[in-house]
Structure formats: C-alpha cells, structure tokens
C-alpha cells in the first residue's frame, strides 16, 4: 500500500546507502580530477602549482602508456576469448548426464574462490618457475629445455593465470543460462531435422547470447583492474612488458610518488571503464523492466 | 538436460569431464599436497604425488615465523565486519526499493551499480592520501570502510533481487489476517527474506576476503589480511615451496568451503540478477 | 454481520480514474459476484473494500460503521487470493492459525479452531505439511481455511479458482457454495468467468470500465439484460446479436436471441442459413450457422442430436417472446 507515509519512510531507509555511495564516489573523484591538474609529487613537498593538462600530455606521451594500453587490451581480450570459448565448452560438458556431477562442478568452480595473490604465487613458483616448477620438470621429462615463462612471455603467462581464475565464473554463468533453455525447444529442432551442430548454432548459441554478453561485460570491468597478479609475479616487467593501465597508475602514484601524473592516469582509466560500463548498465537496466 | 544417454556414451563423457575438472582443480590440489611435504620433497625431481613423508611441520613454521593467525584474524574481521555493516545499510534500502518502489527507484539502483564500475585505480591516489592524513592507513577500520563501500552496491542489488521475489500478495494476506507492521515484518517478511540475506552475506564475505587491490595498497605489517600476507611470499629465495603451500592452503581453505556452499547464489549476485 | 455499503466511491491511479463514482450495497449473508472482462475494475473494487487500496473519494461502510480509513487488519474481513498467498515458511497448521495468533487468541483456542476448520476442509492429514508440498486444490483449501477460522464479517475472494484445472474448478465451486450455505456469511467473489457468476451468486454485479452495468440475480440478468454489454456477457454460448433489417422488423436497432431460443424448423422458417461446424455434447448440439445474412455466425442450441450435417441448409425461427430488443445506444427497449 503506497501511502504518503510509507513513501517518506522508504526515502529515509534508502538515504544512508545513497549518501555514503555519493560521498564515496564524488569526493575521491573530484580529488583525482583536481590532482590531475597539479604538479604534485610526494617526494617534493611544497606548493603544488596548477599546470593545466601537463600531467595528461606527460602521461599520454609516455611510451609506457602506449605499452600499458596495448597490454591492457591484450590482457582483457585474451582472457575474454579463453574464458568465453572455454566456458561454453565446459558448460556443454557439465550440462551432460555425468557421474558425480556435483563433485565435478565443485572442482571446476574452485579456482574462482582462490584469492588472486595465492593463485599468482602458486602459478609463479610451483608451476612456471624455470628450475623447480612443475612445467620445468615436465619439459625435462619430455626431453625439452625448460621455459622461463615469466621472463620470456610475461604477459601471456599472466593471461594464463587470470584465465584460470575467471574460467569458472564464465562456466558457471553459461551453465546456468544453458540449463534455463527449454528442452522442448531442442527437441522441436531435432524433430525439424537439426543435427547436434545446428542445434548448438541455431538454438543454443542465440539463447546464450545474453549470458555471454553479461560475462564479457562484467569480466571486462574486473579485468581492466587486474593488479595483484601483476604485482606478485612480474612487477609489470621485464621493462613494461606486463604493465597494464592499473599497474602503471599504481607505479606512478605509489612507487614514483607522482600524484599528479598518477591522477591523470586514473582519469584515463575511469573514462575507459565508463565506455564498457555504459553497455553493461544498459543490459542490466533492460532486465530490470522485465 | 539431455535425455538419458546410452551407458557407453555416458561413461565416455563422464571420464572426459572428470579429466578436465581435475586438470582445472590440479593447481589447488598440488598446493595442498605440497603443504604436507618437506621443503626438499617439494622441489624433488621427479615430483611425487602421494608417496612422500606427510608432515604438518610447515603449518607450525608458518604460524611461528609470520604469525599467520594474526593475518587470518585480520581477514576475518575485515570481511565479516564490512559485510555486516554493509548489510545494515543495505537491508533497509533494498527493502524500501523492493516494496515501496517509486519513480526514481530504478535510477537509484542503476546509479548505485555505476559506482561499482569505477575502476579502483581511478580513486587510489585521493583515498591513499586521505587515509594517510587521517591515520587510517594500515588499520583494519580503514579497510572495513573501503570494503563496505565498494561492495555496498552488490549487497543492495542482491538483496533487492531477493526481496522483489517475495510476492506482494503474501504481505497483503498478512495485513488481511490482522498483522500490524511489526508482526508483518517479524513473522512473514523476515522469515521469507532470511535465505536471501544469508546468501548475500556469504557471497560478500567471499568477495571481501579475496579483495586484493585495496588490501595490498592500504595495509602494511599491522593490519594486513591474508591477501597481503601471502603477497609477502613473493620475494624470499631458497626452499620455501612447502611453506608457501601451507600458508596458501590456510588462506584459501575457509573461503573455498564457503564458496562451495554459495555457488548457486553466486551467479545471481555477480551478474546483478541479469542471469539466474 | 456483514453489510457493506459503498457510497460514491472513486479510485484514481494518478490521472486515470479506474472507478468512477459508484454506489453499491451488499446485504448481510449475501453471495455477491463481481464479474466483467479483465481490466474492468472488479479486482480494484474488491481491494478497496479490503482496504488494500485507499479510496480516492467516497465512503465505505461496514455494518454501518465508516471503515474508509480503517486499515485492512481491522476491517474484520478475510480474503482468499488468486495466488492463495500462503506463507511458504509455515506449516498448514500455522498458516491457518496465523490470523488467530495475530488476534491474540489463546493457544488452546487456536488449536481447536484450526482442527475444526481442517475437518471441514478435509485438511486434517496435511496439517503439518508446508504449502509447497500441497496440490493446487489443497492450497486453495488452506487459503479458505485461513479465512474461515477468524469468523470474519465477510469473505472476499479474488478469482480464487483461476489457477485450478477445469475438473477441480467445478469441485471447488460447489465447495464454496456449500460453505456459504453453512456459514451464511457475506461473500464477495470476483471472477471473469460468467459461469462461476451464474452458478454461485445470489447477486451479480456486472462491471465494465469501472462502471456497474447491471446488478441483479443471475436469472434477472439472463432474462432481462439491461443493455447489449450484459446481454453479450451473460449466457453460454453467447447470445446472437443481430443488426440491420431483421432488427428493424422487430422495431429495434439490435436484437438478441439466445441460442436456446432458436427453433429449427423443416421449412419456411424466418431465417435460412448453411450449417457449419456442429459441436456434439450428447445432451445438446451447438450448430454454427453461416450465410444467414444476419451476422457472421448464428449459434443454435438444439436438444439431443439433430440430423444435420456440414453444408446442409437450415431453417430457423426465434421464439418471439424471447427476443431481446436494444436501441441505438445499446439500452434495452421494453
């Protein structure tokens, strides 16, 4: 019963959450924007003069920025391709009638619950280490020479680690979507003469389209901010070979203490994330009306 | 779900599924196994899977040398604390939006979600400086504040999707049956909303436990939770695999167990209700 | 007691007025059915009486007391919802006891009344189950049980049978009628199904777009529909409505003849047509007649079997005393 009284009570109940989030969003955002126009280095105390767009031109013209952008795109794109394709295949497999389905599901989902620092360290040391890692042992067993993953192919290695963490997420969501497909639709297609491949292509995939979009968008939001995995494994190196935008901003602000440039980088990261966010919000908003 | 397959086909698919699942799970399994080895056995070539001298020594050493339980306790306080505070703020908000929806409800919800899209690195510098100036750096209170705020949108959303599924009819029935507001909330709404609140709690504890951007950037020795504690293992040289494994196992075990319980709610929570 | 009076009641949602000023009196002990097509405002009207919606203007009196501002909990009414609205986390016993618990009755008295209601509704064996473990019909009975234990001034039913299958629906219809006979309590029943209305009601209220089109006993509505809308809505199969010359000959803009009031004659009837599909029910046959020049289809109800097949020519004559005449505005011509 929507009376005047209950409306004002509702407003009162919502306001703490709104005010807190508003503060959490606006204050730091405004400060980031403000700092990005200042020459502001924590190692050089004193006045922080207004320098206009200098930080931006410095940050954007830094070769490290170009490298970080490319790395960010490769990291996000690589992980997305691996997790979505792998997730579809895994979901198809898990959707079958198999022995011990519950246990299999639990095993597949497990990596998602491993904290990023643990997974990065385990992969770095126990698998990818060129001397004592399991991969090195395996290479030796096969008569090959050991490969130093993190110095020879740092970005690819990080893509591998992050994909391992996110594959369960994609699988779980795609599996959920798959199970919501009306089996009569598949049976109707079968009666209409569609083979397994056409059934997948014409019925299953269109049904999954929405879930795939959701996976892509949500993962993108998180993948743009990959940080711990890089910090723990390569520190962004060698050189800038595995530095992404998030790590670059961290390095500028908290390693080189250049608050101005770091803030300019932060603004760039916000703009980038917003482009993705707009699409994601639209999808979720549509769902809200349904 | 496919129709009952022939036994042979079912066997083949089952074997394939188990192989794939074990491969994906292997790094975790290997970590757990290694944690029971001696350091020498941990790097032995060829490695042994189960035929080694099982030992609990690593667990004691980790606790002794680096005070594991202090960090564990930090993780517990930070994740549970931020979740409880988050729920306290979010339950009334989600409740009001689900049961007294207004013209702005949808916009408020979408806006809350949009704050979640803000990349943390975009606000790292000001938060770091503010925390430094007010003395919140490397404190559990500081982390509880940050984690409460970054997860608040998810909590509100999850609760909202659960509350919205409670049919309005039932609340009206309670009113017709003579329930006043207090009884309506206590006997009808709360019992029906409790499962949703519980799974929101669970998922949020998991997210907070594993959060590794703010915990790494805002803590040092004092308030470091397990994420940051584990990261300190990234540099030491020499034989440390077994100890790293023991520390890792202890860091992920509690959450792995919680996670397995909450896998059904996970999808809904992480997709903001877009996939159920 | 349960005499309910609506006095110039209106309801608007924002700018849209869904109930224009409306007066209605429901006598104590009456079984009143609100019937009309979907969106006619019948459920809104019921919810106004229940107190689940606020009236925009006007007054609702229950047993002479002004109840317009009284919250639903204190109107002394009980409601059975379309979705049953059972509390999923409570056993059947607790569901039925809930209103008594809210009223602060003693535990022993609660138990006594629950057991009694369960006996009446054949729920004794299910008292400790949860609603989720019951069939649709059983849930319906629990919802009714929850309504009767508190001995309300009136029962409100909001399309209670629409989620049941056809066979159950007939059974429950009889049970509710039986309940009314026994309790003699006022019942207000909302449905879009005119068969339910005809079979259960003492008094039918036909609604369209928030307006009361006609109030009367089922047979009143059947024999003397006040306008074209009621004529077309009440009766199954529907009344044949005929315009044009045939109507003019009867001195009306439109005439209506019920299928059971058309006689098949061997030769020289008033109207002639071609037989289309015939529906054989055994006791009756419904013939759909085309090419009469009166309307697209004329439905004829014949007793037993008739020896006419698809494509045959048929001659029809209406029973003149049963022809309903309507003017250009759709009102009944006396």
Asked, for residue A39, whether it belongs to a domain, the answer is: no
Angstrom distance (rounded) from CA B24 to CA A89: 14
Q: Is the pLDDT of residue A4 over 80?
A: no
- Judge whether A256 lies within some domain: yes
Residue A69, number of CB atoms within 10 A of its CB: 16
Q: What is the pTM of this model?
A: 0.79
Residues C89, B192: C-beta atoms closer than 8 Å: yes
- Taking only residues 71 to 130 of chain B, the set having a beta carbon closer than 8 angstroms to any beta carbon of chain A reads 89-90, 92-93, 95-97, 99-100, 102, 106, 108-110, 112-130
Residue A29, domain member (yes or no): no
**pLDDT digit string, tens, across residues B198-250:** 888 988 898 899 888 898 888 887 888 888 888 887 766 555 888 888 889 98
Domains (range + CATH), chain C: 4-231 (3.40.50.300), 238-326 (2.40.50.140)
> Structure tokens of C168?
């159950």
Contact map slice: A 3-42 vs C, CB within 8 A: 3
Q: Calculate mean pLDDT across residues A230-257.
A: 86
pLDDT computed for residue B101 by the predictor: 83
Torsion angle in degrees (nearest 10) through CA of A5, C95, C108, C119: 140
Per-residue pLDDT, averaged over A107-121, amounts to 90
Angle at A237 between CA A234 and CA A241, to 5 degrees: 120
In this prediction, residue B237 carries a pLDDT of 53
Pairwise CA distance, residues C59 & C56, whole Å:
9
C19, C45, C48, C50, C187 from C9: Cα distances, Å: 8, 9, 9, 13, 20
The residues in A 244-283 lying below 8 A from C, measured between CB atoms, are: none
Q: Which of B166, B173, B187, B196 to mutate to test the interface with C (most CBs of C within 10 A)?
A: B173
b or e along B45-67 (b: 16 or more beta carbons within 10 Å of the residue's beta carbon)?
eebeeeebeeeeebbebbbeebe
DSSP 8-class letter at C239: P
What are the helix and strand counts (H, E) for chain A?
14, 0
Q: Which domains does chain B have, with CATH numbers?
A: 7-59 (no CATH), 69-270 (1.10.3720.10)
Give me C194's structure tokens: 């005119």
State the smallest CA–CA distance between residue B3 and chain C in angstroms. Answer: 27
The pLDDT of residue A254 is above 60: yes
CA-CA distance, A118 to A110, in Å (whole number)? 13
Closest-CA distance of chain C to residue A101, Å = 27
Banded pLDDT at A50 (limits 50, 70, 90):
confident
Choose among C318, C181, C163, C175: nearest CA to C252: C318
Does A191 map to a domain? yes
> Which element (helix H / strand E) includes C277?
strand C271-280
Tell whether the model's pLDDT for residue A101 goes beyond 90.
no
Residue A30 within any structural domain of the chain? no
Roughly what angle, to the nearest 10 degrees, separates helices A259-289 and B120-134? 120
Cα separation, A17 vs A25, in Å, equals 12
| Weakest mean pLDDT among A22-26, A148-152, B87-91 | A148-152
Per residue in C258-288, pLDDT tens?
999 999 988 878 889 999 999 988 889 999 9
Q: How far is B173 from chain C (nearest CA, A)?
A: 6
Which residue in this structure is represented by tokens 């935008």?
A245
For the beta carbon of residue B215, count every other beta carbon within 10 angstroms: 29
- pLDDT at residue C128, rounded to an integer: 93
The gap from C-alpha B177 to its chain's centroid, in whole angstroms, comes to: 40
User: Cα(C207)–Cα(C210) distance, rounded to whole angstroms?
Assistant: 6
> From CA C108, how far away is CA C106, in angstroms rounded?
6
B20 backbone dihedrals φ, ψ, rounded to 5° = -60, -45
Whether residue A82 lies inside any domain: the answer is yes
- Residue C20: how many other CB atoms lie within 10 Å: 15
**Pairwise CA distance, residues B83 & B214, whole Å:** 16
Whole-number pLDDT of residue B2: 47
Report pLDDT for A1.
Answer: 44
Q: How many distinct structural domains can be found in chain A? A: 1
Answer yes or no: do B212 and A228 touch at CB < 8 A: yes
The CATH number given to whatever domain includes residue A281 is 1.10.3720.10
Question: In the predicted model, is pLDDT for residue A46 greater than 90?
Answer: no
Q: Is residue A253 part of a domain?
A: yes
Which site among B12, B23, B24, B108 would you substitute to test the A interface, given the most A Cβ atoms closer than 10 Å to its Cβ?
B24
Candidates C70, C85, C156: best to mutate against B (most CBs of B within 10 A) is C85
B45·A140 Cβ contact <8 A? yes
Chain C residues lying within 8 Å of A3, measured CB to CB: 54
Q: What is the pLDDT of residue B32?
A: 92
Task: For chain C, report the end-to-end CA distance as a whole number of angstroms.
Answer: 38
Question: What pLDDT shows up at residue B117?
Answer: 77
pLDDT tens, residue order, chain C (334 aa) = 789 999 999 998 888 889 999 999 999 999 999 999 988 889 999 999 998 888 999 999 999 899 998 888 888 899 999 888 888 888 999 999 999 988 888 999 999 999 999 998 889 999 999 998 998 889 999 999 999 998 899 999 999 988 888 888 898 899 999 999 999 999 999 999 999 999 999 999 999 988 999 999 999 999 999 999 999 999 888 999 998 888 888 888 999 999 999 999 888 788 899 999 999 888 899 999 998 888 889 999 998 888 888 988 999 999 988 899 999 888 898 7
d(CA A107, CA A109): 6
* Cis-peptide, bond into residue C237, ω within 30° of zero: yes
In this structure, is residue A258 part of a structural domain? yes
Rg of chain A over Cα atoms, rounded to whole angstroms, equals 24
What domain range includes position A205? 53-289
Say if residues C19 and C10 touch (Cβ distance below 8 Å): yes
C211 Cβ partners below 8 Å, 6+ apart? C20, C22
Contact A74, A277 (CB under 8 A): no
The interface predicted TM-score (ipTM) is 0.84
C-alpha to C-alpha distance for A261 and B264, rounded to whole angstroms: 43
Exposed / middle / buried, residue C266 (Cβ in 10 Å: 0-12, 13-18, 19+) = exposed
pLDDT value for B274: 66
Inter-chain contact A3–C54, Cβ cutoff 8 Å?
A: yes
């Amino acid at each position: 019963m929507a009376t005047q009284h209950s409306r004002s009570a509702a407003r009162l109940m919502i306001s703490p959450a709104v005010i807190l989030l508003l503060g959490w969003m606006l204050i730091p955002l405004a400060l980031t924007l403000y700092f990005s126009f200042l020459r502001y280095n924590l190692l050089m105390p004193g006045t922080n003069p207004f320098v206009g767009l200098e930080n931006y031109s410095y940050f954007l013209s830094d070769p490290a920025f170009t490298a970080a952008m490319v790395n960010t795109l490769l990291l996000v794109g690589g992980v997305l391709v691996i997790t979505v394709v792998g997730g579809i295949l895994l979901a198809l497999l898990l959707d079958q009638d198999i022995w011990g389905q519950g246990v299999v599901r639990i095993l597949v989902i497990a990596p998602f619950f491993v904290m990023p620092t643990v997974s990065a360290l385990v992969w770095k040391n126990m698998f990818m280490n060129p001397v004592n890692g399991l991969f090195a042992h395996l290479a030796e067993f096969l008569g090959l020479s050991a490969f130093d993953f993190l110095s020879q192919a740092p970005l690819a290695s990080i893509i591998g680690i992050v994909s391992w963490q996110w594959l369960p997420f994609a699988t779980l969501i795609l599996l959920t979507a798959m199970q919501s497909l009306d089996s009569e639709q598949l049976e109707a297609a079968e009666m209409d003469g569609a083979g397994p491949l056409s059934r997948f292509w014409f019925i299953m995939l269109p049904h999954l389209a929405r879930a795939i979009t959701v996976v892509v968008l949500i993962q993108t939001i998180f993948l743009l901010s990959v940080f711990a995995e890089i910090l723990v494994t390569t520190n962004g190196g060698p050189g800038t070979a595995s530095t992404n935008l998030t790590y670059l901003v961290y390095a500028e602000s908290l390693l080189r203490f250049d608050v101005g440039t770091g803030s300019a980088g932060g603004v760039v990261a916000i703009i980038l994330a917003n482009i993705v966010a707009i699409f994601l919000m639209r999808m979720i908003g549509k769902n809200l009306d349904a | 779900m496919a129709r009952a397959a022939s036994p042979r086909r079912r066997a083949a698919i089952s074997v394939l599924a188990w192989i794939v699942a074990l491969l994906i799970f292997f790094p975790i399994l290997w970590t757990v196994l290694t944690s029971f080895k001696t350091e020498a056995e941990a790097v032995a070539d060829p490695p042994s899977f189960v035929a080694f001298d099982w030992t609990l020594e690593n667990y004691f050493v980790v606790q002794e040398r680096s005070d594991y339980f202090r960090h564990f306790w930090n993780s517990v306080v930070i994740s549970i604390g931020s979740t409880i505070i988050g729920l306290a703020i979010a339950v009334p908000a989600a409740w009001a939006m689900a049961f007294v929806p207004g013209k702005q409800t949808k916009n408020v919800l979408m806006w809350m979600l949009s704050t979640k899209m803000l990349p943390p690195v975009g606000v790292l510098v000001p938060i770091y400086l503010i925390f430094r100036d007010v003395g919140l750096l490397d404190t559990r209170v500081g982390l509880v504040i940050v984690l409460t705020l970054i997860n608040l949108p998810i909590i509100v959303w999850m609760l909202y999707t659960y509350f919205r599924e409670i049919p309005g009819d039932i609340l009206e029935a309670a009113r017709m049956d003579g329930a006043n507001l207090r009884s309506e909330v206590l006997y009808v709404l709360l019992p029906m909303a409790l499962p949703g609140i519980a799974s929101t709690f669970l998922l949020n504890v998991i997210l907070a436990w594993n959060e590794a951007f703010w915990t790494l950037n805002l803590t040092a020795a004092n308030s470091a939770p397990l994420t940051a504690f584990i990261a300190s293992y990234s540099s030491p040289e020499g034989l440390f695999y077994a100890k790293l494994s023991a520390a890792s196992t202890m860091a992920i075990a509690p959450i792995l167990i919680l996670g397995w319980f909450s896998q059904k709610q996970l999808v809904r929570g992480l997709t903001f209700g877009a996939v159920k | 007691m349960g005499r309910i009076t609506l006095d110039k009641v209106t309801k608007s949602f924002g700018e849209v007025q869904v109930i224009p000023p409306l007066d209605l009196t429901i006598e104590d002990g009456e079984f009143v059915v609100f019937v009309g097509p979907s969106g006619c405002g019948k459920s809104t009207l019921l919810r106004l009486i229940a107190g689940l919606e606020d009236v925009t203007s006007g007054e609702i009196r229950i047993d002479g007391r002004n109840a317009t501002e009284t919250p639903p909990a204190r109107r002394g009414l009980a409601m059975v919802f379309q979705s049953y609205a059972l509390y999923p986390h409570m056993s059947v016993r607790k569901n039925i006891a809930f209103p008594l618990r809210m009223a602060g009755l003693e535990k022993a008295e609660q138990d006594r009344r629950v057991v009694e209601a369960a006996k009446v509704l054949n729920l004794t064996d299910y008292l400790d189950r949860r609603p989720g473990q019951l069939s649709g019909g059983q849930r319906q009975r629990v919802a009714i049980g929850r309504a009767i234990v508190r001995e309300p001034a009136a029962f409100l039913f909001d399309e209670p049978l629409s989620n049941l299958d056809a066979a159950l629906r007939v059974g429950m219809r009889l049970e509710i009628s039986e309940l009314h006979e026994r309790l003699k309590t006022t019942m207000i029943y909302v449905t879009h199904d005119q068969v339910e209305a005809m079979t259960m009601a003492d008094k039918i209220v036909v609604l369209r777009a928030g307006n009361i089109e006609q109030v009367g006993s089922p047979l009143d509505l059947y024999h003397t529909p006040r306008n074209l809308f009621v004529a077309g809505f009440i009766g199954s199969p529907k009344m044949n409505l005929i315009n044009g010359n045939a109507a003019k000959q009867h001195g009306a803009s439109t005439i209506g003849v019920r299928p059971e009031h058309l006689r098949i004659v061997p030769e020289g009837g008033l109207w002639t047509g071609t037989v289309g599909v015939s529906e054989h029910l055994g006791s009756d046959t419904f013939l759909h007649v085309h090419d009469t020049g009166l309307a697209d289809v004329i439905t004829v109800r014949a007793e037993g079997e008739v020896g006419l097949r698809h494509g045959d020519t048929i001659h029809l004559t209406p029973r003149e005393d049963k022809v309903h005449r309507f003017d250009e505005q759709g009102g009944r011509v006396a």
